[in-house]
A and B are shown apart, each in its own frame.
Chain A
Amino acid sequence: MVKIDVDIPAKKLLLLGNEAIARGALEAGVGVATGYPGTPASEIIDTLAALAKKLGIYVEIGVNEKVAVEVAAGASFAGIPSLTVMKYNGLNVASDTVALLSPGNTGRGGLVMVVADDPGGISSDNEQDTRNIAKMLDVPLLEPSDPQEAKEMTKLLFELSAEMGCICQLRTVTRVAHARGTVTLGELKSGQHIANFDEAYNPAMPTLTKYNPNPASLMHLISLDRLKTIREKFESSEFNRYIGPDKPDLLIVVCGIGWVYAQESVRLLKLGDRVGILKIGTVWPLPEKLVRSYLSRVNKVLVVEEMDPFLERNLMEAASDLPADVQRITFYGKRSGHIEPYGELKPDKVIKALSDILGLNYRPRDEAYAKKAADLLNTLVFERGGAFCPGCPHRASFWAIKNALRMDGRDGFVTGDIGCYQQALMGTGFYQLRTCQSMGSAVGVASGLGKLAQFGFNQPVIAVCGDATFYHSAIPALINGVYNRADFTLVVLDNSTTAMTGFQPNPGTGVTVMGDQVKPVTIEAFCQALEIPVEVCDPFDLNSSVQVLLKNIQGDSRPRAIILRRECELTRNHREKSKPYNMSIDSSKCAGYDCGCNRYCYSVFNCPGIIWNEESNSAEIDEAVCSCCGVCVDICPSGAISRTEQL
């Protein structure tokens, strides 16, 4: 990991966008940072947590994003510069509190919220543009174009938040948050502050004593006034700039990553003397005077931004206030279809839009070459789907679930949610997941399905969630199911970490993100407090797991819980740096195609650690890949696979 706390101003580091944001927070003197892990935002908190004790700051992973925002808000009320971090789905969870923080003020320390959007759903299940939420909630928002700017904007937002008494948002996307770029460092500022909760802080209304947005209309008015002031400040922000001729044929207006893509496209197409680029960093509220001064010079505008036509619509609104004698502007972008209104932005999309609008005939490669390349791609190159890692407990858990449901024979199924285990939507988890929405949704959906007996519903329902998800948001749904006597089996796939986002701790792991040992909040104790049956089982004990599952899915009509507990193989291997067994396959015992098992270990159990040798008509261990967990020994009908203890 790059050491981001070096105190050498002007030194250049190659930083991830997320590391640059963490650095920006340190240069702003952040005292408290909270968040909930989620790709592509996780490294901000991980980076700060690793430095927290050394720098005397406090870093916490909240149980969910709403609580994380509240923890940071508390610190801000006591005068501590505070940061809270989440991916975009997290803002959906947190927005209930953010909506009232926004008109109700934050403390004199300032409160900055970083939200990472994931256009294209590269590490997510949907596409969502959180700028719409910022606008709805009157939250000022900046959008960086690269890691350097992400650092500078983070710093500025701390100042703005403290000065104006409002929560401020930095919106990143995957290609900023997860890109590395050259970053020039500034000065570090101490994060050690004196905390004191006194009267509420509102520069616009000094008589305010409480942090609360009531009376609603009055406080709404005050926050609208504040936005006006901020809009005025943004008119002269250094994050907005223009390059190009005085009167261009076409004006490209960009924000975020669009800035680098637009510049590259203009350079590639050699349009520098015809096309201008106006870059807006202060995306909400939009500096309308600045924008109008450029819009009034052109009659064609292309808008380049990630996801929704957010900037585009706000520009059109600004343009509607242009004097009547100004020429009519045609707007190109996502609304016109010149750039697809879905998926991730790429330089190729900008090049194509520019070519279409200006009638250019740009071909990145000659036609015959491009066709040959496409043919080879289509005929030879297969898509590599994802899979559970070798040794992953989830493969065994879903194998057991699949078998238990089949033995039960009533067409039972699994509701699921977000985490590594959602790969059970695919072949690696035997296609067992049939629903998948938000964190904890498996339990809520099961709670609903479990009340349908009066409508003739008699399929068994299993809800799965991970350990981190259990704490994050499955708990209210479980209480709902228990209180309303819904009929379902909860299976907690407890791998004792938050694996998908980078192995962060959670309330069941007994350690905090700063490394302090604490008493875990155990899932079984929680279930016992709800007075529901709960059993713990090792998923690698395949037969017991099947039996326990079968007994529970045929249980009485109220929720019952099974915890399939085994540590994530990656965290185990990272700690122990050893393989548990020596694995071997006896090719004389493996009957291959003649076995009747349909090559069960290879093509059905589907662990990447087992490969098929066509010549010997036998399964083989791939020693470079196999984690030597040993679980496959119990699935071979011929007993050809064996494990021996490592000496």
Chain B
Amino acid sequence: MKGLTRDPFNLIIAGVGGQGNLRMAEIIGQAVMKSGYLVSIGDTLGGAQRGGSVASQIRISSQIRYGPYIPEGQADIILGMEPIETLRMLTKYGSPATAVITSTRPISSVDLFGKRAIYPALEVILNSIRELAGKVWIIDAVREAMALGKPVYANMILIGAVVGTGLLPLHVESIEEQLQLLSVADAKINLAAVKRGFAMVAE
């Protein structure tokens, strides 16, 4: 198994309340800790848990206990479950060295309803992400998940993609072990989703 490519290694999972962000952070965190690393996870919740922005910050180190907040510009990977949320985190924590994996499926917000806000065109968001980040992987995780049966499998596809980057001391088997330990429902399909995400990113 590969070690850490940076210490501390800072991973942000960006999404919207209700998507399962915190659970994903826990699965990745547990899997990395199993390999002997110190892990801390913080979550930044936006205006509200329900439908607001949610980001998990995962910090991994071989010997130091880091705090749950990443300093400006220090993200190594931003894993985006929603394109505008990916960009939100990238503008604050990104640098030209930040790798990005982002799902393309937008999630609406009540702020769009009365035209209090406007959702930008997807291509504009993706171009902005490309402009700010280093390596970028763009994945229609929801479409891939629907092919497996349910939109929620998108989360495991995205975890698989993180594993596929090879930037973290993780492999498909260590995620599989966590799925078993946490008694995740539909473990078989979830594992297939992890492998699908892995294949989309690994070269």
Q: State the A residues within 8 Å of B (CB).
A: 12, 14, 122-123, 146, 148, 175, 178-182, 257, 260-261, 263-265, 268, 346-348, 351, 364-365, 369-370, 372-374, 376-377, 380-389, 423, 427-428, 602-604, 606, 608, 611-612, 622, 624-625
Contacts and interface: CB of A to CB of B under 8 A. Distances in A.
A263 B40 CA distance: 15
15 contacts: A12-B33, A14-B39, A14-B41, A180-B40, A377-B88, A380-B125, A382-B112, A384-B111, A385-B51, A389-B51, A427-B114, A603-B114, A606-B114, A622-B108, A624-B151
A50 to B, nearest CB: 15
Contact of A386 (B52, B64, B87): B52
Given A380-B87, A384-B52, A261 B40 contact: no
Contacts of A182: 33, 38-40, 65
Contacts of B94: 373
Which of A261, A263, A384 has the most chain B CB atoms inside 10 A of its CB?
A: A384
Given A264-B71, A373-B132, A389-B50, A381 B84 contact: yes
A369 B95 contact: yes
A365 B73 contact: yes
Contacts of B118: 382
Nearest 3 A/B pairs, CB to CB: A386-B48, A260-B67, A382-B117
Nearest to A373: B91
Contacts of A603: 113-115
A182 B108 CA distance: 35
Interface residues of B, number: 60
A606 B67 contact: no
A347 B40 CA distance: 15
Interface in B42-90: 42-43, 45-53, 64-74, 84, 87-88, 90
Given A146-B67, A181-B39, 7 more contacts: A175-B67, A175-B69, A182-B40, A364-B72, A380-B125, A386-B49, A387-B48
B92 A377 contact: yes
Interface in B138-189: 151
A622 B65 CA distance: 43
A377 B91 contact: yes
Contact of A387 (B50, B71, B131): B50
A264 B40 contact: no
Most buried by B among A12, A351, A365, A376: A376
A14 B29 CA distance: 8
A182 B114 CA distance: 44
A467 B113 CA distance: 30
A348 B95 CA distance: 15
Contact of B111 (A370, A372, A382, A612): A382
A604 B110 CA distance: 10
Contacts of A179: 40-42, 67-68
B65 A347 contact: no
A395 B109 CA distance: 16
Nearest to A147: B40
Contact of B45 (A122, A388, A608): A122
A385 B53 CA distance: 8
Nearest to B53: A384
Contact of A385 (B42, B45, B68, B109): B109
Contact of A123 (B16, B38, B45, B115): B45
B120 to A, nearest CB: 5
Contacts of B69: 175, 261, 346-347
Contact of B47 (A374, A380, A386, A612): A386
A175 B42 contact: yes
Contacts of B96: 369
A140 to B, nearest CB: 25
Interface string B4-46: 0000000000001000000001100110010000111111011
Given A260-B67, A268-B71, A385-B110, A180 B29 contact: yes
Nearest to A17: B68
Contact of B88 (A181, A381, A386, A625): A381
